[in-house]
Amino acid sequence: MKITALSAWTVRLRLSEPYTIAYETIDAVENVFLRIETDGPFAGFGCAAPDLAVTGETTASVLEALDSVVRPEFLGADPRRVSRLRERVRRPLEQHPAARAAADMALYDILGKIAGLPLYLLLGGHRDRIKTTATIGICPLEETLRRAQDLSARGFRALKLKGGTDVEEDVARVLAVREVVGRSVELRFDANQGYSVDESLRFITETRPAELELVEQPVPRDQLAELGVVTRRAALPIMADESLMSLRDAFRIARRGLADMVNVKLMKVGGIGVAMQIAAIARAARLEVMVGCMDEAALGIAAGLHFALSHPAVAYADLDGHFDLLDDPSAGAVELKNGTLFPRKAPGLGFDL
């Protein structure tokens, strides 16, 4: 079997509800879709969700990387040799993780279709569903409480609050949300690199009555020593997100004890293959893994979900990036029931564009 053609295109996706995080407000996103054709009956599909602030990419740079690097390396190659093809593009696309992720997931999609199995079963099949958080961006207290009550009523048992711009306001929002949703809903908090060490520890101390489950990326991504200080002094688990961009980062965080948990996003690390390697490092270091996402079409979420279901190191999922996307051509690639995500039963990623 050989790869005969690659095509990639950009889709602009508006958000039904714009949201704000510590460093920007988002009302629309662009994803790149990839189709890899073979001389057999199978085609594989991938998705890239570049973010200049996180992955250092744009849709234009993703399209260029797929055309100038992935196309010449993949054409004529055997798509079943996923590891070999991934290694061919690893170095030239080292600074293009979302482009690598799209190519990687398309290859795995083909592999699942050849095997006649949903990808999560092919990769290990540790579980067949997983609970996901629903995220509430930075917004006024009244709006935060309205969204929290609405999501709780829709069956979500885990909520993530964004913050990092004002400690006092963040503390007030967390405590108020706990009051309105009760104790049966798990609460997580993401500072998106917005705090100093002192602010992080103050926030953790003052929100103790809310019994937060974890705090994600409290300090800037390059302040690894400071992240370690917060981790050692905090009374609850600290998760590294933006500080984890590669396999090497995972090793560094694990070796130096810089975090209790890691957030693995396919778009940050370069796809399912690298994510599996990071999960192995995390398990060896007894770090829990959360599978997260960017603002991704449902196809990208499906890839993250299949990874999450396959590996025992994955304890949490934050796969809600597709919830508010309008006109998603891959809508339906995953199923959501009462805050729990299920994969489609079709082979591969389970969805053909």
Residue 25 has pLDDT above 90, yes or no: no
Residue 44's pLDDT is what?
98
Residue 22's pLDDT is what?
66
Residue 352's pLDDT is what?
94
In a domain, 40, yes or no: yes
Residue 298's pLDDT is what?
98
Q: Does 43 share its domain with 168?
A: no
- CATH code at position 287: 3.20.20.120
Q: Does 179 share its domain with 287?
A: yes
Q: Does 61 share its domain with 199?
A: no
Q: Does 153 share its domain with 81?
A: no
* Of the residues 69, 86, 116, the one at which a domain ends: 116
* Domain encompassing residue 80: 3-116
Q: How many domains does the chain have?
A: 2
Q: pLDDT per residue over 200-241, tens digit each?
A: 999 999 999 999 999 999 999 999 999 999 999 999 999 999
In sequence order, which ranges of the chain are alpha helices (DSSP H)?
59-65, 71-74, 82-90, 97-115, 119-122, 141-153, 167-181, 197-206, 224-233, 247-256, 266-269, 272-284, 298-310
Q: How far is CA 18 from CA 134, 141, 165, 326, in A?
A: 14, 16, 18, 12
Residues 6+ positions from 135 with CB-CB distance below 8 Å: 19, 159, 160, 161, 162, 190, 318, 320
In the structure, what pLDDT confidence band is assigned to residue 331 with cuts at 50, 70 and 90? very high
Residue 24 has pLDDT above 80, yes or no: no
Residue 307's pLDDT is what?
98
Q: Which residues are catalytic?
A: 162, 190, 216, 241, 265
* Of the residues 61, 94, 116, the one at which a domain ends: 116
- CATH code at position 51: 3.30.390.10
Residue 90's pLDDT is what?
96
